[in-house]
Amino acid sequence: MHIHWYPGHMHKARKEINKLLPQVDLVIEVLDARVPFTSLSPLLSKLPDNKPKLYLLTKADLADPKTSKAWLDHLQQEQQVAAYAVVNGRPELKKQVLKWSQALAPKRGSIIKPLRIMIAGIPNVGKSTLINLLTGRKIAKTGDEPAVTKAQQKVQVAEGVQVFDTPGVLWPTPKSELSGYRLAASGAIRDTAIEYPDIARFLLDYLQQAYPGALAKRYRLADDQQEVMSLMAEIAAKRGCLVKGGGMDEGKVGEMIVREFRQGLLGAISLEHPEQEFAYRLLPTQDVNHPDAPPTE
């Protein structure tokens, strides 16, 4: 699967982030709780001057809670790092984020020495929603489509606390073909750049392995352990996603499956597990199109 996803403003944003990093005291990297590894930005893998980092795994209500816990434990193995799973938009989140931030940078946060925070992450993970929550007003534009924020913004969110919002930044090519599928499934890439049937087949194959029974429950199937195209055709018939003559409408059923995954209607699902990603790094020749299911506890 080849995806064209690198609009011109992202190249500019990469330069802005590199220029801004030395000026801030703390980086908040917003990750999608369903794809924490895939949504990690390579730009922020190593921060200058041992700068502290706060990971916020948003959309935690859509992710598998056991897998999210494993990711939090994994991410917090780094020094000067804290990580929390959150649901964006909840009123208590502002107080929590400010508390977590000041704990990581205890010498900042006064009028004389303000705590300067950079918020970054890939498109459509909830950065703008977080900014609006922190400020208490609609400062950043939000939307279901990725790449809504186009320019850097500096906002005062509390006395002695300043936040720099940055555009969502992807990289010129995905970390792997599997990463491309995950990004597309999560909504980080514009739908005009993907093919719904492709992404739906990836999701069906993954769910059969990682969450057996989830598809059968959602679509009232007798058996969801069957060849992917047959499974897709059965779902299409169940939901009336058919062309004239009764054949499967791949575009319609593919879009429905992808959208229902994004809405959490297929269940609380994570698309990657830290142990699984470690295995991929050890075994680069593994067929990433048919990965082993993540460990279940």
Beta strand spans in 113-177 (E) = 115-121, 153-158, 161-165
Give the pLDDT of residue 26: 93
Spatial CA neighbour of 201 closest among 167, 235, 170: 235
What pLDDT shows up at residue 293?
34
**29 and 144, same domain (yes or no):** yes
Let me know whether 245 and 135 are in one domain: no
Q: Which residue has the tokens 């009028």?
A: 111
Q: Is residue 170 part of a domain?
A: no
pLDDT attached to residue 99 = 95
Instruction: Give 294's DSSP letter.
Output: P
In the chain, the number of structural domains is 2
Q: In this predicted structure, what is the pLDDT of residue 140?
A: 54
Closest CA to 134 of 100, 157, 108, 166: 157
pLDDT along the chain (297 residues), means of 10: 52 72 90 92 71 94 96 90 91 92 92 90 83 75 46 75 74 69 89 89 95 96 94 96 93 97 97 73 34 35
**78 lies in a domain?**
yes
Are residues 67 and 13 located together in one domain of the fold? yes
Together in a domain, 20 and 156? yes
> Residue 233: which CATH number?
1.10.1580.10
Amino acid at 180: G
Spatial separation of the C-alpha atoms in residues 222 and 200, rounded to whole Å: 20
Domain that includes residue 248, residue range: 195-282
Question: 10 and 18 in contact (C-beta within 8 Å)?
Answer: no
For the residues of 237-286, what is the DSSP string, one character each?
A: HHHT-B-TTS-B-HHHHHHHHHHHHHTTTT-S--S--HHHHHHHHH-TTS
User: What does pTM read for this prediction?
Assistant: 0.82
Q: How far is CA 27 from CA 41, 47, 80, 223, in A?
A: 12, 9, 11, 46
- Are 83 and 12 in the same domain? yes
* Distance (Å, whole) CA 58 – CA 174: 21
Helix (H) or strand (E) run with residue 101 in it: helix 93-104
In the numeric block, which tokens belong to residue 197?
Answer: 């049937």
pLDDT for 282 equals 34
Query: Do 140 and 16 fall within a single domain?
Result: yes
Q: What is the CATH number of the domain that holds 150?
A: 3.40.50.300
